[in-house]
Amino acid sequence: MCDDFTLADDAEWQAMRRISRRGFGLGAAGLAAGGALAGCMASSDSSAEPTPTSSGLAITERAVAITTPDGTADAFFAHPAKGRHAAVLVWPDIMGLRDSFKDKGRQLARAGYAALVVNHYYRSAKAPMLPAGASFTDPSIRAQIAPWGKVLDPAAYSRDAKAFIAWLDQQAAVDTARKIGTVGHCMTGGVIIRTAAAAPDRVGVAASMHGGGLVSDAPDSPHRLISSTRAALLIAIAQNDDAREPGAKTTLREACDVAGRTCEIEVYPANHGWTVADSPAYDAVQAERAFQRQLAMYAKL
């Protein structure tokens, strides 16, 4: 997760990037395979009109408001312009709903899915919650985020998941005959299992991208909930997270086997948050590989 350890990893990687660029003339593409803090850095948003897509299906997008038991959640909804499609519920990372996650919604829509990207901090603030260029390395930004996370206990996430899925099922662009997928990043990597457990009849695939907190001693640790789901799991682990908790992948595998669930568990050669485009840890090659693995599983929804 995004914490002091990943901040230290980021500082080390930034130093390596400076040395590499000075000494070897490597550009951003050559450095992409390195990785770093991911999902814990820059946050930006824009009020400009959406940029037309240059590839994939023509899509429609809009800001939406969703009533939940705890209030009104703001979110971003993107889907192919025509037809009905399987839905994917997207949970952002610790920096919240912003342009980089809207782009993830657009990417899914161009691939043929109705994607809902939610503001999981809606109880505390509307998106964008942070100023453009905000960094998790800034103590004042971490202090601002901290209270938002404190109101997000497992029960709150489960209530939200049910409300978001119910909203999706009411949309004309969503094919309710197909199961729903969900994907979480960083702090919401474990929320995808809670989502699948909250709506086992609807969630068919749950994907965790460099997720934190999937395995703990808590009675309601996400790994203990796998048997309460009916979803196939894709668990993409960052190499530095695995170095800190090498036993987590084994515990997850054992939980999947006991539950009889299909689980793809892999440690990627990239650091925590590599799938988030506005992070210095972003690894374009590994992010695309993880996205293609998502699509392969969503195709079975």
Closest CA to 137 of 210, 44, 41, 275: 41
Q: What is the dihedral of CA 269, 293, 86, 178, to 10 degrees?
A: -120
Sheet with 263-268, strands from edge to edge, namely: 59-68, 71-80, 114-118, 87-91, 180-185, 203-209, 232-238, 263-268
pLDDT level of residue 17 (50, 70, 90 thresholds): very low
Sign of CA dihedral 199, 202, 205, 208: negative
8-state DSSP, 215: S
Question: What pLDDT, on the 0 to 100 scale, is given for residue 141?
Answer: 87
* Average pLDDT of the residues in 272-292: 94
Flag whether pLDDT at 43 surpasses 60.
no
Question: What pLDDT, on the 0 to 100 scale, is given for residue 3?
Answer: 52
The CB density around residue 150, as the number of other CB atoms within 10 Å, is 9
Closest CA to 236 of 284, 191, 182, 275: 275
* Average pLDDT of the residues in 45-71: 73
| Cβ atoms 93, 186 nearer than 8 A | yes
Lowest mean pLDDT among 131-140, 195-204, 223-232, 253-262: 131-140
Question: Looking at this protein, which amino acid is placed at residue 160?
Answer: D
Domains plus CATH for the chain? 4-43+59-125+140-298 (3.40.50.1820)
Integer angstrom CA distances of residue 49 from 45, 61, 111, 166, 211: 12, 10, 21, 28, 32
Largest CA-CA distance found in the chain, in angstroms, rounded: 56
Mean pLDDT (the chain, rounded): 85
Question: What pLDDT, on the 0 to 100 scale, is given for residue 291?
Answer: 98
Radius of gyration of the chain (CA): 18
Determine the 3-state secondary structure of 145 from DSSP: helix
Q: pLDDT per residue over 200-249, tens digit each? A: 999 999 999 999 999 999 999 999 999 999 999 999 999 999 999 999 99
d(CA 212, CA 233) in angstroms, rounded, equals 15
Integer angstrom CA distances of residue 129 from 35, 132, 173, 286, 289: 25, 10, 28, 28, 30
> pLDDT exceeding 70 applies to what percent of the chain?
82
pLDDT level of residue 91 (50, 70, 90 thresholds): very high
Q: What is the dihedral of CA 132, 135, 140, 141, to 10 degrees?
A: 70
Question: What pLDDT, on the 0 to 100 scale, is given for residue 55?
Answer: 60
The CB density around residue 262, as the number of other CB atoms within 10 Å, is 13
d(CA 109, CA 90) in angstroms, rounded, equals 12
Q: What is the dihedral of CA 8, 138, 124, 122, to 10 degrees?
A: -60
The tokens 């991911």 sit on which residue? 38
Peptide bond between residue 147 and the one before it cis (omega within 30 degrees of 0): no
The CB density around residue 200, as the number of other CB atoms within 10 Å, is 13
| Cβ atoms 162, 67 nearer than 8 A | no
pLDDT level of residue 39 (50, 70, 90 thresholds): very low
